[in-house]
Amino acid sequence: MQRYEKLLSELARRGRLRRLEQRRGADFCSNDYLALAGSSAIRRALEEALDRGVPAGAGASRLLRGNDPEHEALEVEAARFFGAERTLFFSSGFLANFAIWSLLPDRSDVVVHDVLIHASCREGMRAGAPQRIEVAHNDANAVEDAISGWRSSGGRGRPWIAVESVYSMDGDKAPLDDLMAISARHDAMLVIDEAHASGVFGPEGRGLAAAHEGNPHVMCLHTCGKALGASGALVCGSAPVVDFLINRSRPFIYSTAPSPLMAVAVRAALVVLEREPERRIRLLKLIEATNRSIHEQCDVPPTGSQIIPVILGSSPRTMQLASALQSRGFDVRGIRPPTVPEGTARLRLSLTLNIDQESADAMVAALAEELQRLGP
């Protein structure tokens, strides 16, 4: 126990000790972008499912007795909605990314990934991909050079490219069209994590990769615990890839299946995306106006997305600013290394329909005041 106490004390000294905290104040930190987590539409769908006997728990893995009709109905509907040949439902985005990267690249393949790729992808790559090349953030030329260099040095397998369409801590967007062209030139697989684009961007919220879904060179991951307001994740790809995951993916085979009620909730969220486009329209207006005001008042670069980082560098300063905003009624959280690179501790401001433009304007004004008070 002393060992852990010492390590925790060191984290506290460096301003990196983490604690679980209750929700409080106006929501500027969740990923519930469309405010669907508590929506009446999803609540009604769950009530109706319970009334017709859908169980809360699956009771087993999908390959045993855990495969519920609700799982299959969701996968069929999600494939139609996102334009994929097949989909496979996992209980979390972390598990889905781990499954992809720990299994699919072969020993002779190479994975080229963005330096800011999500931790779930990195953990999967560590477990499976023997050859990995990290490249500069959002630099398509660096991806091309990495693949060409690997080929010229004797690489004979298939290249895999790993990116997020909207980066979770920076809020900027990947150059997907350029990466798609690179994928086609090199017969590479482009795997796009749409976690923070699903439900927000693209036609009817289908994501920034919507134009590329169904392409045999593309796989997409759509998480369900962010804009879709539920939990779980959908891996979208070709039928052979999905069947291979079912047969060989240890995270899929040896995990109890997701709750059938979560499959109901996700399917209801997809219906909302199609039937209530005004939600996305309101969010996009909030994104545009708040990016503009925070740039003007706080000199924070706009991202064009619902994620706006305020980079302070120092972990203690970051937590001090977060605490000041929380005391003024805004639920803003600090993000510190190792979640983000050293020297880039930040506030991660998240825009959702749980707040309105008036609340956003008040938060920006408070942030400007607290930044001035904090000093350089």
Which residue in the list 31, 39, 92, 138 is annotated as catalytic? 31
Which residue in the list 27, 164, 331, 370 is annotated as catalytic? 164
Q: Is 118 a catalytic residue?
A: yes
Q: Is 369 a catalytic residue?
A: no
Q: Is 212 a catalytic residue?
A: no
Which residue in the list 91, 120, 168, 291 is annotated as catalytic? 168
Nearest C-alpha neighbor of 199 from the set 276, 144, 292:
276
330 CB-near residues (< 8 Å, 6+ apart)? 25, 26, 28, 362, 363, 366
Which residue in the list 71, 196, 212, 222 is annotated as catalytic? 196
Q: Is 193 a catalytic residue?
A: yes
Rounded distance, CA 213 to CA 351, Å?
26
Which residue in the list 193, 213, 331, 370 is annotated as catalytic? 193
Which residue in the list 102, 109, 114, 118 is annotated as catalytic? 118
Q: Is 31 a catalytic residue?
A: yes
With tokens 């790809």, the residue in question is 237
Q: Is 196 a catalytic residue?
A: yes
If you write DSSP's letter for every residue of 113-172 in order, what string do you get? EETT--HHHHHHHHHS-S-EEEE-TT-HHHHHHHHHHHHHTT--S-EEEEEESB-TTT--
Rounded distance, CA 328 to CA 75, Å?
43
Where b means 16+ CB within 10 Å and e means fewer, 318-354 reads: bbbbbebbbebebbbbbbbeebbeeebbbbbbbbbbb
Q: Is 291 a catalytic residue?
A: no
Which residue in the list 71, 113, 173, 226 is annotated as catalytic? 226
Which active-site residues does the annotation give? 31, 118, 164, 168, 193, 196, 226
